[in-house]
Structures are given as structure tokens and as C-alpha cells.
């Protein structure tokens, strides 16, 4: 993300997009100088715009045929007509609520997953279960309270719990859009804390062939990443082919190796895009494959060894460097197929039909316990999902209807029962002037085929649960953006019926089969300017579902800490912001930070467990000719609000980490040397559960090269 900040001074990035009936037209936006070409009466898309007024010109064969002024952000569709009244352009624009990350241009941490790519967004933090297993925390919320959209459909693989990263390759998209705060009407009632969107790539208007590749080597783990993207156009079809490969061995701390923490990953995606008259077709396929090693020191066979591991200064297991993946580790597979058809009617309405299928599989290989023999597979979860949505957008109205079906199948050790989930509903959004008002309802039915309340126990009879999540929200966009919402979120299968062992967090999860729908009231104030952005969010739920650390438990696979789901009233508050101060024409200083306060009432007020502490990051950036550099200091303070009933040990002390990068860009080449924890500081992160067993990874240094080739 550093390159984006160094090249563009604005921090809130917007886009304009639309249709035109001019064959071969060029859409030009001034004064930014950005442009896009339009193929055969099709679609154009221009992103990376700052807040302000722009002139949009339409050029055909060197002649200007239309122009208009656009104030960005633009809250409602804008119609631009040719003087001969025969041609129309429809322009749509994002509401000023999102931050944008462009992974293919962010070379400081290319080997990191989705969650780490978002850490430069104010209000975003990490929930880790060890190296390479991270989830984003947005304003203190994580898990299924954050909704992920890829390829025009919601990602479904997060229903299994908190111990695995989102199955998303950041390089599969041009940009990642992050909306902080509730977004339930458009993106579903799981979007309590926000939504992370990977839009469908727009490649309709490409000509010839273009390409980019990234090659990166990392010192800690002795690994590397290779990413390649090819795109172009053939006979009116636009295409994109993308792949990335990551290999790393055992990671080390300043004092010892984190035994078993290697990884091997291979991801890819393919896009086709075509326009005919007023029709648009997009086909998208993505695959995610990862073997992720889990720190062996978190896994013990009995309660005595568990207590020794928690109290030990050094882990009970030790090793040297190795690329070999041995239990415990996860093998994660994810496939996503999406098709989207869009039609622009003669009265400027837009119909969009999206259909998709997802397949997710997670296998866990055990280190100790009864599952070490034979295949070594201690868990095998398979989830298949189908999604269908139809939307109609005209002037100030947007209507949508959708249906989703999921089928979960499990083998080996019990964790989540086999189940089916049916979910359907509709939503509507209205944009009067500076307002946006919306409503959504999505009834949901679970059918649990086999429910076991104790590991190795007898199955219960067929169980059905019906929930009726719904949401209303209203947004006012003036000098300050104000957002009000009420939503009710249905509990996920892990919260309802989990009773089993999570390898990555080395924790035994215990669900609550009497959990009911979780209602939440939210209010958020935010403002975004070129030099600063800030957000204040307040939440209250009379029946909040939360997890706390319980007593250590001994199961058939060994000893582990336990995480229990409870439901009580709760309230929390999030404050986040960013401030940028230009020190000269080529040097700037940025400070960003976030703090979350929360209480649960069970029945007495107590601090909400596993909330990130206060985090402040100070960054100095500079630019000279073809060189760019930055130095940053990340200060994470100690979490002083905690409950002894929810922690085995007090939260670790605060710490500061030094990082830096220096890059050179010449023509199509870009070279970056970057590093984290350059002082090789010894620390334990919070709320990472690995903190009980080991310190965090030490110094990481990487060299990354990026090259673009082909016609533009």
C-alpha cells in the first residue's frame, strides 16, 4: 500500500463507471488525466480518483462528442446525452465510505494474506492463529461479523469458525474495497463490522496482450512468491489469467524456530468479459490451494504438559529449519465459479443476474491423539454453496432478490455436524438527495442431520432451526457521514453446534445450541478528506454472541485450551483515524491509529475478551526522482482491560516494531527492498492465542521485483 500512498496524495479513492453507445470511444477524466476505452457499445471503468470536481469528455475518432462535469463522490446516477440525443452514458460512483487497496501494486508484504494487506486501513487489525493464519478485525469485530464478497457473491467458507484465514488470493483482483461499519442491506446481515469486496475484474475493452509479474524472496522462512497476470482481448472477448505461488519453510523468532510453520500455496483465477449492444457478460473462476503449517508447540497430549507449555520460557518442542510439512497442518481448498449478466434497458435501468457456486474443503492433520495413525486426517469438512441474485437499478432505486443453498459434509472427528442451510430474501435501497435508506430480510433454515453434543457420544435426532435475520439502515452524506442501522444476525454453525478441536488455535470449541438471533444497533460518524480521515462507531446488542477462554480440556486428541460461546448483552465503541502532514514537496508524515472499548454483561459488566489494544503507527515517507522510501514504527500498547475469567495469563506487554522499505521504479520495472521487525524485537502479540506458547516471528527482510509488459 505504500506505493499507492507515495504516488497519490488522496487517501479516499473513488471510481466512475458506465455505459456508452459509441463504438471505439475514449472516456477522458480531467484534470486527473485518467482515461479508458470503450469497446462495441460497452462498459468503461476509471478508478483511482480523489474527491473533487472532474470534467468527463467522450472522444470518437479524435472528435469530442459529449462532455459534463462530475462531482466526486456522486451519490446518484448521472445521465450524459449527446447533442443529437441519440447516445446516452450512465455513470455510477461509490459512496464515500470505502478504502481501496491495490495488492498488485503493494510490494512491501506480497507474501502475506488478505488480512495483512488491509492493515494500513485505519480501524483494521489482525486476529492471528499463528503465521499465515490471519483474519482481519474491523472495528473490533471479526469472523462471520465481517462479510467477504468475491466475484459478485458472498464467500461462505468462514462458517466453520475462527481458526483459518479467508480463502482469497489478494492478487486475483485489481483492488480490494473495504467498507468499515455495518453494511447489512446490500451485503447481508453478517456485515456487522463491515464488508471486504473483491470486485469482478473489468477486462472487456482490452486490446492485444498485457502482463505483469511479481517475484519476491523472503529471508525468514527462506521462501519466495511468484505471481503472474496475463490479459488481453480476442475477437471482442476480454480475458485475464492470473496465478500465484508461495513456498516457505520453518519461520524463526529472535530466539528459536517455530517448529512446523512452513507453507506451500498455489492460487489462480480466470476471467472472461464480453459486451453486446446493451448486454454485458462476465465469467469468473478462482481457485485457492494452501497447505499451512501450525506451530507444534501449541499441541500437547495431557493437561500436565499443557500447563508446562503455557508456563515455559521456551517451547517444549524445538527444531531446525525445514521445508517439510508435518502434522499438525491444514490443507485448504476453495473453488469459486461466478457468472454475471447485465442489461441496460432503453429507459436507463440496469438489470443484473449473478449465479455462482463455491466448494470449500478443509482437512486437518493431527500431531497427537487417536487421529495420528492411518491417514493422519483428524478433520475433513466439505461445504458446497450455490448463490443466485437478481437486482434492478434505476435512478434512485435499487431492488434485489437472492437465494443461497449450502450443504456441509464432514468426516472423521466430530467438530461441526452435517447440515444444510437454505437462505433467501430481498432488499431495497432508495437514494433521496444526500440520503441512502435501505431494508433487507433474509429468512434462513438450518437442517442438522447428525448432532453430537459430546465427542464420541451418541447422535441426536434430526434438528431444524429457523431464523429470520433482517436489517434497516439509513445514511446521510453531508459534511460528516452519519450512518444508522439495526440488524439481526443468525448464529453460524460453529457457534451453535461446535464441539471439537481446532488445530490452528489449539483450542477446543464449545457451541451453544440454544443461541438465538443476535440483534445489533449501530451508529457511525465518519469524515474523509485528502489529509485526514476519522471514524467513530458505537454498537449495542441485547443478545451478543461472544467467546471466552474456559478451563483447559482433555479430549480424545489431547489437551487444549477451550473457547466457549455465550450470549449476553454487550456494548462496544471504536475510534480510528489517519492524519497526513506534508513536510515538503517530496516528504510526508502519517499517523494512524485505532482503539476499541467493549463490555459484556454476564451478568455483571466485564471487559469484552480478545479485543485488540490501542495501536498507533507513525510513518515517514519520501520520494526523490525514481526512488521512494518509508520508515514506520508500530506501537501496540498492552491490553489493560481484561477479565481473569477469560484469560489464562494477563495480556502480554506492549511493544514497538520498526519497519522500512525502499523502492526504485523505472519504466515498467519496480524493485522494492522491505523489512519488518528490523530490530528483531522479542514480543508476544494480542489477541493471538499463540502468545501462550511462544513469542512472535523475528526479523523479516524481502526483495521484490515487479514488471509490466505488453501493449497498454
What integer pLDDT is reported at residue 15 of this predicted model? 66
Instruction: List pLDDT tens digits, range 340-363.
Output: 998 878 777 889 999 999 999 988
Within 10 A of 597 (CB to CB), how many other CB atoms are there?
16
DSSP 574-628: EEEEEEEEE-SSSEEEEEEEEEEEEEEESSSEEEPTT----EEEEEEEEEETTEE
C-alpha cell at 234: 480476442
Share of the chain above pLDDT 90, in %: 44
Confidence category of residue 311, pLDDT binned at 50, 70, 90: confident
Of 280 and 283, the one with more pLDDT: 283
Residue 12 has pLDDT above 70, yes or no: no
Q: Is residue 213 within a helix (H) or strand (E), and if so which, with residue range?
A: strand 209-218
Q: Which residue has the higher pLDDT, 72 or 310?
A: 310
Mean pLDDT of the chain: 84
- The stretch 5-34 carries a mean pLDDT of 59
Burial level of 399, CB count in 10 A (0-12/13-18/19+)? middle
- Mean pLDDT, residues 228-255: 92
Give per-residue pLDDT as tens, 685-704.
Answer: 998 888 989 999 999 999 99
Position 186 scores a pLDDT of 92
Give the pLDDT of residue 167.
Answer: 87
Q: Is the domain covering 99-710 a CATH 2.40.170.20 domain?
A: yes
CA–CA distance, 20 with 3 (Å, rounded to integer): 32
Asked if residue 86 has pLDDT above 50, the reply is: no
d(C-alpha 463, C-alpha 451), whole Å: 8
Assign residue 129 a region (left: φ > 0; alpha: ψ between -120 and 50; beta: otherwise). Answer: alpha
Q: What is the pLDDT of residue 494?
A: 87
Q: How large a percentage of the chain has pLDDT more than 70?
A: 85
Q: How would you classify residue 162: left for phi > 0, otherwise alpha for psi between -120 and 50, otherwise beta?
A: alpha
Q: What is the pLDDT of residue 4?
A: 24
Contact 225, 214 (CB under 8 A): yes
The pLDDT tens digits for 540-556 are: 999 999 988 888 888 77
pLDDT given for residue 477 in this prediction: 79
Confidence of residue 97 (pLDDT cuts 50, 70, 90): low
Is the N-terminal amide bond of 328 cis, ω within 30° of 0? yes
Answer for the pair 181, 482: CB distance below 8 angstroms, yes or no: no
Confidence of residue 251 (pLDDT cuts 50, 70, 90): very high
| pLDDT value, residue 238 | 87
Higher pLDDT, 581 or 72: 581
Predicted TM-score (pTM) of the model is 0.84
On the 0-12 / 13-18 / 19+ scale of CB atoms within 10 A, 204 is buried
Q: Sorting pLDDT into bands at 50, 70 and 90, what band is 319? A: confident
Q: Does domain 2-94 have CATH number 2.60.40?
A: yes
Residue 414's pLDDT is 67
Domain boundaries, the chain: 2-94, 99-710
* Predicted confidence (pLDDT) at residue 528 exceeds the cutoff of 90: no
Answer yes or no: is pLDDT of 285 > 50.
yes
Amino acid at each position: 500500500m505504500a506505493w499507492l500512498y507515495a504516488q497519490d496524495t488522496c487517501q479516499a479513492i473513488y471510481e466512475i463507471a458506465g455505459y456508452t453507445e459509441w463504438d471505439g470511444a475514449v472516456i477522458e477524466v480531467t484534470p486527473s488525466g485518467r482515461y479508458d476505452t470503450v469497446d462495441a457499445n460497452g462498459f468503461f471503468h476509471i478508478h483511482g480518483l480523489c474527491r473533487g470536481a472532474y470534467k468527463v469528455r467522450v472522444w470518437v475518432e479524435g472528435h469530442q462528442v459529449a462532455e459534463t462535469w462530475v462531482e466526486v463522490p456522486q451519490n446518484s446516477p448521472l445521465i450524459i446525452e449527446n447533442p443529437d440525443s441519440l447516445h446516452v452514458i450512465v455513470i455510477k460512483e461509490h459512496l464515500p465510505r470505502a478504502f481501496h487497496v491495490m495488492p498488485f501494486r503493494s510490494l512491501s508484504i506480497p507474501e502475506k494474506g488478505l488480512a495483512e494487506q488491509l492493515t494500513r486501513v485505519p480501524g483494521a487489525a489482525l486476529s492471528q492463529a499463528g503465521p499465515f493464519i490471519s483474519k482481519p478485525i474491523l472495528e473490533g469485530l471479526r469472523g462471520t461479523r465481517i462479510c467477504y464478497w468475491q466475484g459478485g457473491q458472498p464467500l461462505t467458507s468462514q462458517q466453520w469458525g475462527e481458526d483459518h484465514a479467508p480463502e482469497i488470493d489478494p492478487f486475483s483482483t485489481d483492488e480490494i474495497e473495504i467498507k468499515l461499519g455495518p453494511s447489512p442491506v446490500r451485503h447481508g446481515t453478517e456485515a456487522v463490522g463491515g464488508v471486504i469486496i473483491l470486485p469482478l475484474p473489468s477486462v472487456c475493452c482490452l486490446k492485444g496482450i498485457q502482463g505483469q509479474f511479481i517475484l519476491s524472496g523472503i529471508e525468514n522462512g527462506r521462501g519466495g512468491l511468484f505471481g503472474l497476470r496475463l490479459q488481453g482481448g480476442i475477437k471482442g472477448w476480454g480475458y485475464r489469467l492470473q496465478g500465484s505461488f508461495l513456498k516457505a519453510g520453518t519461520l524463526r523468532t529472535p530466539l528459536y524456530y517455530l517448529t512446523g510453520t512452513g507453507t506451500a500455496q498455489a492460487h489462480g483465477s480466470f476471467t472472461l468479459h464480453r459486451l453486446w449492444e446493451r448486454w454485458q457478460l462476465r465469467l469468473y473462476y478462482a481457485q485457492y490451494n494452501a497447505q499451512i503449517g501450525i506451530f507444534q508447540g501449541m499441541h500437547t497430549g495431557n493437561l500436565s504438559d499443557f500447563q508446562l507449555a503455557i508456563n515455559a520460557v521456551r517451547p517444549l518442542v524445538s527444531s531446525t529449519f525445514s521445508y517439510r510439512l508435518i502434522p499438525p497442518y491444514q490443507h485448504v481448498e476453495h473453488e469459486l465459479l461466478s457468472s454475471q449478466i447485465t442489461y441496460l434497458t432503453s429507459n436507463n435501468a440496469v438489470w443484473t443476474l449473478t449465479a455462482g457456486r463455491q466448494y470449500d474443503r478443509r482437512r486437518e492433520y493431527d500431531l497427537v491423539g487417536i487421529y495420528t495413525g492411518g491417514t493422519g486426517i483428524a478433520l475433513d469438512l466439505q461445504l458446497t454453496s450455490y448463490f443466485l441474485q437478481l437486482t434492478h437499478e434505476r435512478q434512485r432505486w435499487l431492488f434485489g432478490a437472492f437465494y443461497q443453498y449450502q450443504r456441509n459434509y464432514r468426516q472423521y472427528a466430530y467438530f461441526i455436524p452435517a447440515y444444510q442451510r437454505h437462505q433467501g430474501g430481498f432488499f431495497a435501497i432508495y437514494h433521496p438527495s444526500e440520503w441512502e435508506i435501505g431494508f433487507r430480510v433474509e429468512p434462513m433454515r438450518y437442517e442438522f442431520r447428525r448432532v453430537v453434543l459430546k465427542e464420541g457420544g451418541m447422535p441426536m435426532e434430526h434438528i431444524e432451526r429457523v431464523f429470520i435475520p433482517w436489517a434497516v439502515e439509513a445514511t446521510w452524506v453531508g459534511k460528516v457521514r452519519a450512518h444508522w442501522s439495526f440488524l439481526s444476525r443468525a448464529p453460524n454453525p460453529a457457534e451453535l453446534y461446535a464441539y471439537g478441536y481446532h488445530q490452528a488455535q489449539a483450542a477446543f470449541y464449545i457451541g451453544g445450541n440454544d443461541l438465538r438471533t443476535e440483534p445489533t444497533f449501530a451508529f457511525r460518524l465518519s469524515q474523509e478528506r485528502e489529509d485526514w480521515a476519522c471514524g467513530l462507531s458505537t454498537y449495542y446488542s441485547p443478545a451478543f454472541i461472544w467467546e471466552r477462554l474456559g478451563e483447559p480440556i482433555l479430549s480424545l486428541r489431547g489437551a487444549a485450551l477451550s473457547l466457549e460461546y455465550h450470549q449476553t448483552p454487550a456494548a462496544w465503541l471504536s475510534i480510528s483515524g489517519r492524519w497526513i502532514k506534508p513536510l515538503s514537496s517530496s516528504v510526508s508524515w502519517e499517523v494512524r491509529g485505532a482503539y476499541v472499548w467493549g463490555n459484556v454483561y454476564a451478568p455483571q459488566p466485564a471487559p469484552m475478551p480478545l479485543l485488540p489494544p490501542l495501536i498507533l503507527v507513525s510513518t515517514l515517507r519520501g520520494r526523490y526522482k525514481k526512488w521512494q522510501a518509508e520508515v514506520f514504527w508500530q506501537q501496540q500498547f498492552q491490553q489493560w482491560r481484561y477479565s481473569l475469567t477469560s484469560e489464562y495469563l494477563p495480556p502480554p506487554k506492549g511493544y514497538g516494531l520498526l519497519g522500512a522499505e525502499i523502492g526504485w521504479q523505472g519504466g515498467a520495472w519496480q524493485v522494492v527492498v522491505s523489512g519488518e521487525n528490523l530490530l528483531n524485537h522479542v514480543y508476544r502479540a494480542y489477541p493471538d492465542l499463540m502468545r501462550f506458547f511462544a513469542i512472535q516471528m523475528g526479523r523479516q527482510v524481502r526483495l521484490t521485483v515487479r514488471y509490466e509488459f505488453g501493449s497498454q
